[in-house]
Amino acid sequence: MNEFEKITPDTYKEMNEEFIHDGTPVRIEIPTEAGLERWKNWKEDIHTKSVPPTDMVAEMWEKHREHRDK
């Protein structure tokens, strides 16, 4: 069992109880089992590019040449 499999809604309840006991003014929203499963199974690659790369130097040269040739 890995660390993610150990997390359940009871984990969040226990953390909230500990916060109350310690007087910490923080509360965590307790997720549903379905919400936790969705989070555990999330497989998005954070390294994918969502914006096409641009060559900013080339763009600056184009603007420079356009301005120079006016």
Reported as a single tens digit per residue, the pLDDT across 25-40 is 999 999 999 998 888 8
Domain assignment present for 38: yes
Instruction: Tell me, yes or no, if the pTM score tops 0.75.
Output: no
Given this model, what pLDDT does residue 2 score? 73
Distance linking the first and last C-alpha atoms of the chain = 68
CA distance linking residue 64 with residue 58, whole number of Å: 10
Domain assignment present for 40: yes
Its domain, for residue 35, covers 1-44
Domain assignment present for 55: no
**15 and 28 in contact (C-beta within 8 Å)?**
yes
| Number of domains the chain contains | 1
**Which of 15-19, 24-28, 41-45, 52-56 bottoms out in mean pLDDT, i.e. has the lowest?**
41-45
Domain assignment present for 32: yes
Domain assignment present for 66: no
